[in-house]
Amino acid sequence: MMLMFRSPLFLLLLYCATQTLGVKIESVPGVNSEGFIETELKKTVSLFCSSEADEELVWLRNGALVNLMEGNNKGRSSVCVTPVIYEDNDATFTCHLGRNTTVRDSVTLNVTYPPALSGSEEVAVEDAAMLVLRCDIWANPPVSSVSWTLNGSAVDLLGGGFTVTNDGFTSQLTTNRVFESLHEGTYQCTAISSVYGEYSKAFHVTVTEKTMKFPLMPMIAALVVVCLTALLAVVSRWDKITKCCK
């Protein structure tokens, strides 16, 4: 009978010990129910780890040790991420007891940012050459759509011989052969973000006359041949030249 009472008592004591030795991470801004901290680029995130026992605390970032100042690792410890950068997205911060790595708590940063699209760019391309326009659409969350216009109207992909590619990081508009009547004008790529709205960039494309490329290597080869021919001619007439000079 005594054994029946001791087992629940032992479990209760074990539970209390676990709670006492546990660690907890709090943050500004706060942690959501899924263990993520929502933040933005250039913001500041403050992390606080505490244990009820005055024990050594250790911080890890993606499994790598975080160096703490002296005195910032006993009972309560803090880490400041400032400013938040692109590489902080999906970074996981873990705090655990120094003497027991299994007693731990973790949070993950979710850094949101818009596509880096703004302003305009001047583009000069020769007639009959290839035209390539690129827009950086990298964003978190990913943009929902990307569109291209020419002089305010949707780009005629078939009529202009255009190809559009999108790998989630860059949207690229390409045509293999440029004609002034078809391709000169103002292009604009527009990306739509569900969080940040509309972002765009303009390209002012000017088609120039085709220039003759200077045939450097053939010219060098021809010059070498001429020099060697002249040298051989001088050598072959050297005797006559020296006789005339006496």
Considering the domain architecture, whether residues 142 and 94 belong to the same structural domain is answered as no
Query: Which residues are CB-neighbours of 130 under 8 A, at least 6 positions away?
Result: 174, 175, 176, 177, 178
Domain presence at residue 219: no
Q: Which range of residues forms the domain containing residue 200?
A: 120-208
Domain presence at residue 154: yes
Q: How far apart are CA 214 and CA 208, in angstroms?
A: 17
Given a cut of 60, whether residue 62 has pLDDT beyond it is yes
Considering the domain architecture, whether residues 15 and 85 belong to the same structural domain is answered as yes
Considering the domain architecture, whether residues 85 and 185 belong to the same structural domain is answered as no
pLDDT higher for 241 or 81? Answer: 81
Considering the domain architecture, whether residues 28 and 85 belong to the same structural domain is answered as yes
Considering the domain architecture, whether residues 107 and 135 belong to the same structural domain is answered as no
Given a cut of 90, whether residue 2 has pLDDT beyond it is no
Domain presence at residue 222: no
Domain presence at residue 70: yes
Position 13 scores a pLDDT of: 31
Domain presence at residue 229: no
Domain presence at residue 233: no
Domain presence at residue 107: yes
Position 52 scores a pLDDT of: 81
Task: Please provide the DSSP assignment of 201-234 as one string.
Answer: EEEEEEEE---PPP-HHHHHHHHHHHHHHHHHHH
Model-level pTM? Answer: 0.73
Given a cut of 80, whether residue 221 has pLDDT beyond it is no
**Residue 86: CB atoms within 10 Å:** 10
Per-residue pLDDT band at 56 (split at 50, 70, 90): very high
Given a cut of 90, whether residue 40 has pLDDT beyond it is yes
pLDDT higher for 19 or 231? Answer: 231
Last residue of a domain, one of 93, 112, 131: 112
Across 15-19, 88-92, 126-130, least confident range: 15-19
Q: What percent of the chain has pLDDT over 70?
A: 77
Domain presence at residue 231: no
Count up the domains in the chain and report the number: 2
Per-residue pLDDT band at 211 (split at 50, 70, 90): confident
